[in-house]
Structure 1
């Protein structure tokens, strides 16, 4: 009897010692922090947590280093500094009110009541062309996802010249003989931090899904490909974009170094020391001048031993479930036609200019015999060339070599009219674009954050689509499968299967792939020109 009682007491001790109530004060490896609790949603948030040392001074253009321990209690109740950037995208609404090179912070939203709940984890990378963005943006807010039973995280990473500058001196001083991928290495460092610390917030370190839109999606593609990160993740979500030509492809390290040398010469900086001595604001101004510097990740032999498409083709990426897709009208038709009226004659002329040897084939795949057809086809061609093709290629390669399900979508819900729109005297100069979902318009839908965006007059149908899309994403984060009760059944793509995609709209339904010819044509174009 005594033995049974002893065993019971030991079991009770183990259970209570490993399960602690989660309060507003959490202790992680670096110290204690105090967050906030939303009584209405029952979600705790911890904002502005440092996951690396400030990349300032001599740490500019170095791999992120583990954060320092702190004394006392860190007030984790506000967003920290946003990365250095110009405000180049009007749709970015930041809640951080300061900007600094000292930007390597992350934010956590958790629904956990105790520390041993082992909830699934979402780590979201913002978009912005690797030139803008911040984890404080309201459209990425993690509270709605947390209400779905997920520990949601947004991170900051270095942007522009601070995050993607390559230079011979940097390569020489690096223990890995690499340079140029600092923003991506920041994301990797954040993933390591999550792996080590997320249990304190009730998260499961073995169930981390990474997600992102545009540059964030390109980053997800790169993190899946990198030998550094691929074993840290259990799933991946890509919304419009992969690091595959022509969408911000990685360049050889030697080319990145040449770009860096050219930048230094143009700005009379003859050494790495001189470049590091330039004040952050001045460096940002220098790099923002047209033609001053070319942003690109590098095939550095460390984070990226090969280009991501080569890694996926070889089956060397993370073998995890992938949910990936793009929007129905990523960019307007003018991105292809320019300032010309969208007449069949002008469109055919533009196609012949762009594809002198393949114009007839392009006009079959993207026909333009009427104005409406020109607008539709030019929108499709511009969107494919911008970002849809690279995302399609990622999905194709993952299905062929990943050994895991690939769930493909097309987001087709256009934004509603703006609540307050300023009259535009030029509005009637061109026909209105075809109705469709523009680039980045799915973010608020997927993250359940329509109420944060006060620009648009959201309708009950918009909230219906958002509820469905967020449910798909949440289910995928939890199980690697987006399907769930009350949702249209989503069939995955695997090697050799007929390709299907979920068309996400007011009437969401699974459809067979219908534009394969377009992507096979572009695939030949970009592969032949590699």
Structure 2
């Protein structure tokens, strides 16, 4: 790939990757800095520049509180300090194309982090290995937390669309528009774009599948580790935003805009929790309808899907234990007449078993969501879906306890085992090679068919099988089928996920 390319805002000079045939373009502005009067407004076009802009450094990431040093996820992913700034709307491109004429498949990554933390430039998201498999990789920073998802009656009133919140989702859509306009310069094909993400990044993919604003901007989707549920109403998120403004001592949005990002973040707990677990609004613009309703009625954008979950999603997300009494009480409170069915599926006779059963129950929501989604996809009759179940326990750091934890699959998808300090084994290298190959083949062709690797069948509701990605790579019957079927009923009834044991 030539190191110098021209995009619609000017010339860029990239840098060589570790492999000389890969070129990396870092810190490309895809929208204007969302600061001052542009805070809490839809992304605007970036300014053009004269001359050649160096693309040799990652752009700043959205202001956030990273995990505490020594904590599990800090040790896993935040191994390098990153500059933070409200001026954060940058993306990065990896390409091994020899010229702009190649039209390689494109993979656009939306990072996770609960919509409150993370970035597209974490070392684990280095796109070089994927690029070497024949795709052009794009990773995206977007606005987070209060800066990305604050809704407020004043913001709704000033919007020509009668909408507020969802600015982070608008950023992602703007990045996809940038891809459509510019990816040819990097040897990519704007007619063959796959969006992929994990956790909150997976929710971002889910959002795009239901948003009218994203229609036609992508052609395939990969969703890793998400649970489904209805999103909030605009009134609900506006109320949370108004409460945050009041707690910040701001009588108006103008006063809140006058506060610096540092001032907004002066109370860490308030900033982290101001908008709730999922601050995405049914705003009538980004989301005209509840995405879950659209999905269940097979009215989401019909593109091929590759989806799955890890076996032990909640070992890192639910800390501490629970008592047998609290677990059984929760079962009766949430499931009523079906409580005994639930307890037979998640048996426990002491506190230790109750803790494990509770984590299994919470983890099952992720895979049950994929089962519901795959069935809806099959009902649409147009495109295929491929399911996986990740079971590999990354070696080191109490692997027996954490198991195949939430986010464990990321090192393997990007083949970035080197990005974290673990005693990796030969099996890990083989699994990373398999997953990188499957993911890029899916991006290229819409099916994860890869020579030399086990066959991966499309989802069939009459005989559900999934690809196990673990110590062995093989198709298996749906794991924990009875548990997942029980959980799927709740998703179909649009019951919100409850973490509270009380």
Common fold: TM-score over 0.5: yes
Unaligned runs of 5+ in 2: 68-72, 497-502
Where do residues 200-349 of structure 1 align in structure 2 (5 Å cutoff)? 200-242=185-227, 244-245=228-229, 249-286=230-267, 288-289=269-270, 292-294=274-276, 295-332=278-315, 335=318, 338-340=320-322, 348=328
**Which residue of structure 1 lines up, in the alignment, with residue 376 of structure 2?**
397
Superimposed CA distance per residue, residues 350-384 of structure 1 (whole angstroms, 9 cap, x where no aligned partner): 64465454321112222235888656533321212
**Which residue of structure 1 lines up, in the alignment, with residue 362 of structure 2?**
382
Matched residues in 2 for 1:291 and 1:97: separation? Answer: 23
Matched residues in 1 for 2:210 and 2:273: separation? Answer: 30
SS at match of 2:65: coil
Alpha carbons 1:42, 1:111 under 8 Å: kept? yes
Quick one: structure 1 residues 279 and 316, their matched pair in 2 at CA, closer, same or farther if it must change by over 3 Å? same
Q: Compute the displacement of 1:228 (Å).
A: 1.2
**Which residue of structure 1 lines up, in the alignment, with residue 499 of structure 2?**
none
Q: Compute the displacement of 1:486 (Å).
A: 1.2
**Which residue of structure 2 lines up, in the alignment, with residue 452 of structure 1?**
419
Matched residues in 1 for 2:317 and 2:294: separation? Answer: 34
Matched residues in 2 for 1:369 and 1:508: separation? Answer: 34
Q: Compute the displacement of 1:340 (Å).
A: 4.0
Q: Please, which moves more after superposition, 362-371 or 260-269?
A: 362-371
**Which residue of structure 1 lines up, in the alignment, with residue 472 of structure 2?**
507
SS at match of 2:91: strand
Superimposed CA distance per residue, residues 333-361 of structure 1 (whole angstroms, 9 cap, x where no aligned partner): 9939x5346xx777546644654543211
Matched residues in 2 for 1:125 and 1:68: separation? Answer: 23
Q: Compute the displacement of 1:113 (Å).
A: 0.8
- Are residue 520 (structure 1) and residue 499 (structure 2) matched? no
Alpha carbons 1:348, 1:368 under 8 Å: kept? no
Matched residues in 1 for 2:419 and 2:400: separation? Answer: 26
Matched residues in 1 for 2:280 and 2:44: separation? Answer: 20
Quick one: structure 1 residues 99 and 145, their matched pair in 2 at CA, closer, same or farther if it must change by over 3 Å? same
Q: Please, which moves more after superposition, 397-406 or 25-34?
A: 397-406
Alpha carbons 2:146, 2:274 under 8 Å: kept? no
Alpha carbons 1:230, 1:317 under 8 Å: kept? no
**Which residue of structure 1 lines up, in the alignment, with residue 113 of structure 2?**
128
Q: Compute the displacement of 1:525 (Å).
A: 3.4
Q: Please, which moves more after superposition, 26-35 or 277-286?
A: 277-286
Matched residues in 1 for 2:317 and 2:251: separation? Answer: 42
Matched residues in 2 for 1:334 and 1:37: separation? Answer: 37
Alpha carbons 2:13, 2:25 under 8 Å: kept? yes
Superimposed CA distance per residue, residues 89-124 of structure 1 (whole angstroms, 9 cap, x where no aligned partner): 413326563100100000000001111100000000
Matched residues in 2 for 1:160 and 1:332: separation? Answer: 24
Alpha carbons 1:318, 1:402 under 8 Å: kept? no
Give the TM-score taking structure 1 as reference length.
0.86
- Are residue 40 (structure 1) and residue 23 (structure 2) matched? no
Alpha carbons 1:313, 1:401 under 8 Å: kept? no
* Number of residue equivalences: 487
**Which residue of structure 2 lines up, in the alignment, with residue 80 of structure 1?**
59
Matched residues in 1 for 2:199 and 2:408: separation? Answer: 11
Matched residues in 2 for 1:446 and 1:402: separation? Answer: 28
**Which residue of structure 1 lines up, in the alignment, with residue 456 of structure 2?**
490
Alpha carbons 1:319, 1:402 under 8 Å: kept? no
Alignment equivalent of 2:173, drawn from 188, 191, 200: 188
Alpha carbons 1:80, 1:96 under 8 Å: kept? no
**Which residue of structure 1 lines up, in the alignment, with residue 346 of structure 2?**
366
Q: Please, which moves more after superposition, 432-441 or 232-241?
A: 432-441
Alignment equivalent of 1:65, drawn from 29, 32, 44: 44
- Are residue 481 (structure 1) and residue 447 (structure 2) matched? yes
Matched residues in 1 for 2:359 and 2:196: separation? Answer: 26
Matched residues in 1 for 2:35 and 2:214: separation? Answer: 24
Quick one: structure 1 residues 95 and 193, their matched pair in 2 at CA, closer, same or farther if it must change by over 3 Å? farther
Matched residues in 2 for 1:505 and 1:514: separation? Answer: 13
Quick one: structure 1 residues 144 and 514, their matched pair in 2 at CA, closer, same or farther if it must change by over 3 Å? closer
Superimposed CA distance per residue, residues 416-474 of structure 1 (whole angstroms, 9 cap, x where no aligned partner): 014xx9xxxxxxxxxx9657300001001111111222x21100111111111111111
Matched residues in 1 for 2:375 and 2:351: separation? Answer: 33
Alpha carbons 1:161, 1:287 under 8 Å: kept? no
Quick one: structure 1 residues 448 and 292, their matched pair in 2 at CA, closer, same or farther if it must change by over 3 Å? closer
Matched residues in 2 for 1:469 and 1:291: separation? Answer: 35
Quick one: structure 1 residues 484 and 474, their matched pair in 2 at CA, closer, same or farther if it must change by over 3 Å? same
